[in-house]
Structure 1
Amino acid sequence: MSEKNTLPGWMKWWFVASALIQTWDASFIWLRPHSLPGGKLHSLWKPYALYIDIDLRYGDLDDSFGLAQSLLNFAEVILLVVALIMNSQNHRCTTVTSFTVSTMTFWKTVLYFVMSTSLVNGSNMIGTSDPLKLIFLFLIPNGVWLLLPALSMISLGNRLAEPLENTQKSKKKQR
């Protein structure tokens, strides 16, 4: 297999984990109220009983932003699966597809953080003023969705930039 068309092992694992977690997460949102504590499906989402006390958007059945970002989760899952299939076939578009989905995940998460701040009157969606709860139950878990996509973007961006650099070097040599 050509290395330029395959993903590093860590990124494949991240894409698989991301697809599973995003499917689970978006399903929680779309299956409310059944996925909420007391709902008939809640046993599949027990950790959310704690999380919805911190991120109030997850318990708010009327929050259209939460629904919209969950639809984007499903779109990302489809692209993650496509990227993994392309990777297994050594497809020439693996890198650009993977870069695209990583960028989508990164910026959707940035938007999610912004929507949870006073900048856009979203701080009412954070259900704690306890800094430790905020750090360990909101910032760190959600920060992973910034860190790993950013690392993927850097890795894949370098790969995408290489042919451009080679072309520029060739043109300089020809002069």
Structure 2
Amino acid sequence: MRREPIIMTATMGAADQAWADGLRRAHYPADRNVVEAHVTLFHHLPGPYEGELIARTRALAREFAPPPARLSEVMRMGNGVAFRIHSPGLLAIRAMMADGLHGLLTAQDQGTPRLHITVQNKVEAATARALHAALSASFTPRPLSISGLALHRYLGGPWEPIGNWPFRGKAAAG
């Protein structure tokens, strides 16, 4: 039985993934950029429950259609920059997952997350301020394609993919 924590993310459509990865490669410190751009739904799910996590993730992806999402603003995150995501449907799907994992969630994962895509982190405050100003100057809210759910095993930095399940249902969440 594997004990490493499991991270759950929402996957983006190919064009949005390429866009976010490009920004991350350009602005994230290269020595710390060990994962692709992502939308974290849960930071630390218990590794010993991997089978249950896969089953629950697969069931949600099978039931729901891709939830509408929008990039709503450029935001500062400590010494970094991210794009805030507005998606009541994705938060509703996440809440369903959380309900099924009652008693297994860390304090961090018990609250409602601020959905975002981090494109820069762990830099000097002045560097983050400059990127925030540059990205904000040309930012316009726009749709973001959310295509599915994924699970990853946390290995102390890099992640090991467990699986990726595209949304293919008809139900609308939220």
Q: Shorter chain as normaliser: what TM range?
A: under 0.3
Q: Which has the higher contact order (CA 8 A, sep 6+)?
A: 2
- Which of the two has higher C-alpha Rg? 1
- In terms of fraction of residues, the more helix-rich structure is 1
**TM-score when normalising by structure 1:** 0.21
**TM-score when normalising by structure 2:** 0.21
